[in-house]
Structure 1
Amino acid sequence: MNLYSFGKWLCGTYFKAVYKPEIIGVENMPETGGVLLCANHIHNFDPPLVGVASPRDVHFMAKAEIFSIPVLKSILPRVNAFPVKRGMSDKTALKTGIQLLKNGKVFGLFPEGTRSKNGEIGEGLAGAGFFALKSDAHIVPCAIVGQYKKGKKLKVIFGKPIDFTDLREQKASAKEATQLIMNHIAQLKKENE
């Protein structure tokens, strides 16, 4: 068992024991090909929760600062995380993301770029739209609904892939593409609250 599989099992065991998350729409995740998996962001546990809920291994960007912590520096790459320098255009991270999608991997992203303080969905940054437009990947919206509190409902909902054909042909802006993704996430959240 590799470290990713072990981590998924460990986190899954913890989440089931403490939060009992309901996972909906797993059948909407394409079985093959590149997938840009875009979710809202409400808690530090979102990446492992989405990773546990996904039927396929997920690669995530993580802020570069945590890669300088000695113990995490060696663990993070082994659990499919790669660094991104926040607040600037990080060309290396952008290339890594595009390459993952071209190689048929699942690339998980939180388009808001930061956690929501009140649980409401915020405005998405252009990065998600950039990856959606620059690749032929399936774009799967994902909503995390509820609270990370014992006894409270917590759900992870995978939506149907978003058809990006028109936006790609129209050469839409990254911001427009992100807005479409955020609209789908918001709709999933609304339908499952």
Structure 2
Amino acid sequence: MFYIFARAVLRIFYRIFYPLQLRGSEHVPNEGPVLLCSNHISLLDPPAIGIYLKRKVSFFAKEELFKVPLLGAAIRRLGAIPVKRGAADRKALSATLQVLEKGGVVGIFPEGTRAKSGQVEAGKKGAAFFALRSQATVIPVGIRGPYKLFRKTTITYGPPIELSSYRNGKSAAAVTDEISDLIMEHIRRLV
């Protein structure tokens, strides 16, 4: 219930202050594990990507945010996954795979942080790792901004990225870089 309430409040907030133009949301499956892979330009990105979808979306949030009294409680109830930045965080990896194994939706920013340049940067290996380990449908998402008060920002959901040739027998280590590059190329096309 908290997620539904928060989503409704955020829809009003975005509608008034940062109107979103959505394209391609029909590409997001109504069931089964989904990995939403997006470029990252602002702190406003996670809600913008998820609030108009029919499904709950869990995002990574840096561990420090969970220690902020009200914010920490809120993002925990929204399904955020705490992650230690700058280190291999096994708890975050495990929590993400659990969400996907239960058929949930995880939003991830493969660049690892906001791109200050406004350009889509190179992706890290995390999104490719989750795509291989979970068998999730991978949906690229392109955010075209910047966010400006009362001006539209475009969120485009692309068609699923075909990964079956990578999932058939090859070792994950051998294809992770290729998959990461492929995901980032799809995101660039949407931006």
Q: TM-score range by the shorter chain?
A: over 0.9
1:96 is aligned to 2:95: yes
TM-score by length of 2: 0.94
**C-alpha displacement of 1:167:** 1.2
Give distance in 1, aligned partners of 2:39 and 2:149: 21
1:186 corresponds in structure 2 to 188
Aligned ranges 1:150-189 → 2 under 5 Å: 150-169=149-168, 170-171=170-171, 172-189=174-191
2:38 corresponds in structure 1 to 39
Give distance in 2, aligned partners of 1:69 and 1:18: 25
Q: Which amino acid aligns with 1:158?
A: Y
CA contact (8 A) 1:26 1:55 kept: no
User: SS where residue 160 of structure 1 aligns?
Assistant: coil
2:67 corresponds in structure 1 to 68
CA contact (8 A) 1:146 1:152 kept: no
CA contact (8 A) 1:4 1:78 kept: yes
**C-alpha displacement of 1:153:** 3.2
Residue identity over aligned pairs, in percent, reads: 41
Aligned ranges 1:16-31 → 2 under 5 Å: 16-31=15-30
1:149 is aligned to 2:148: yes
Give distance in 2, aligned partners of 1:127 and 1:46: 18
Give distance in 1, aligned partners of 2:108 and 2:41: 13
**C-alpha displacement of 1:151:** 4.5
Give distance in 2, aligned partners of 1:112 and 1:44: 14
Give distance in 2, aligned partners of 1:23 and 1:139: 18
User: SS where residue 173 of structure 1 aligns?
Assistant: helix
CA contact (8 A) 2:66 2:76 kept: no
TM-score by length of 1: 0.93
Q: Which runs of 5+ in 1 are unaligned?
A: none
1:118 corresponds in structure 2 to 117
1:139 is aligned to 2:138: yes
* Aligned Cα root-mean-square deviation (Å): 1.2
The number of residue pairs the alignment matches comes to 188
Give distance in 2, aligned partners of 1:29 and 1:16: 21
Give distance in 1, aligned partners of 2:40 and 2:11: 19
